[in-house]
Amino acid sequence: MAFSSWKQLLLLGKACRRGGPALRWKRCCHWSAGKSLDPEVRAFLEENTEVTSSGHLTPEIRLRLLTPRCRFWREKPDLWPYGDPFWAIYWPGGQALSRYILDNPCVVKGRSVLDLGSGCGATAIAAVMSGASQVLANDIDPIAGMAMILNCELNHVTPFPITIKNIINSEAGKWDLIVLGDMFYDEQLADDLHHWLRKCIRIHETEVLIGDPGRHQFLSHSIHNQLCKVIEYSLPEYTRQENNGLTSSIVWSYQPSNSLESR
C-alpha cells in the first residue's frame, strides 16, 4: 500500500507536505457557499477516491477517501499530482470529535465553530448537522477544500466557508468553539498550536476541543497537562489496522491554567 508510507510519516511526526505546483496560487483562497469547483479537479477526485461510511466511528457521514480499492493506494506517491492527500484519510482524532458532536449536539447548537486542520471536513459536517450557527473549515491544502465541498454534497449539507491558509499565530478570531483533531504530529506545530489556542481562550473565552488517539508527540507535549478528558471511543477494527494498531481515540477539553495564560 503506497499510502501507508505517508501515514506512517504522519504518525511518527515527520510529515512534510508537498505543494501541488498547479494549485499553489490558491494557498490563501477562501471558498464561500455556492462557489463551483474546477471541473478537472472534481473529475479527478471523483475518479480516484471511494465514497464510504464504513469502518469509522461516524457511519452517518459519507466521505470520499482513499481506500485499498483506489488506484493511487497502489501507485507510487510521486504520481499523485497534488500535495500529499492527508485529507483523504479519516484520522482517529477527527473521528472522535465528529462522533462526540453528533452524539452531543448541544456542544455546537447555535454556536460558531472553527474546524482547524479540517482535512476531509467530517467534523465541520458534523457541526452543521448538529445545528451550529456558523462553521468555518480551515486547511492549508486547496485540494482538501475541494474535497470538503464534495463531502458536503454527499451528506446533503450546504457547503460552509473554507479558508485555505495557515491561520495559526494569526490574530485570534472570535469563535465560540474551536475543534482540531490529529494536529499534534510535529513539535513546532504543537508549540504554535499551544500558544495560539491559549490566546484564543484568553481573549475570547473560546472553548477548545482536541481529538487525538494518544500519539507520543501529543502525550509528551506540555499541553497535555492542561487537558481534561471528555470521552474515549474504541476505534473500529478497520481504523485500528490503518493506524498502526491504535485502539482508541479521545476527545479532550483544553483548559489552560491561569499561570500559563498570563505568560
18 SS3 class = coil
Instruction: Please check whether residue 61 is in contact with residue 118, taking contact to mean a CB–CB distance below 8 angstroms.
Output: no
DSSP per residue, 48-110? HSEEE--SSS-TTS-EEE--TTSHHHHS-GGGS-SS--GGGS--HHHHHHHHHHHH-GGGTBT
Q: Domains plus CATH for the chain?
A: 39-254 (3.40.50.150)
Instruction: Dig out the grid coordinates for 14 from the structure.
Output: 515527520
pLDDT at 260: 43
pLDDT of 118 reads: 97
Radius of gyration of the chain (CA): 17
d(CA 5, CA 10): 9
The pTM of this model reads 0.88
Please report where in the chains the cell 471536513 appears, as a residue. 121
Q: What is the tens place of the pLDDT at every residue in 221-237? A: 989 899 999 999 999 99
* 63 vs 20, residue with greater confidence: 63
What residues does 68 pair with on adjacent strands?
none
Q: What is the pLDDT of residues 73-97, one digit of tens each?
A: 888 777 889 888 999 999 999 999 9
Measure the CA–CA gap between 243 and 245, rounded to whole angstroms: 6
Question: Residue with C-alpha cell 504530529?
Answer: 185
**pLDDT one-digit tens code per residue, 94-109:** 999 999 999 999 999 9
Cell of 205: 473565552
Closest CA to 58 of 10, 91, 106, 18: 91
Region of 193 on the Ramachandran plot (φ > 0 left; ψ -120 to 50 alpha; else beta): alpha
189-202 in b/e form (b: 16+ CB < 10 A) is bbeebbebbbbbbe
Q: In this predicted model, what pLDDT tens digit does every residue of 22-31 receive, in sequence order?
A: 333 234 455 5
pLDDT of residue 263: 41
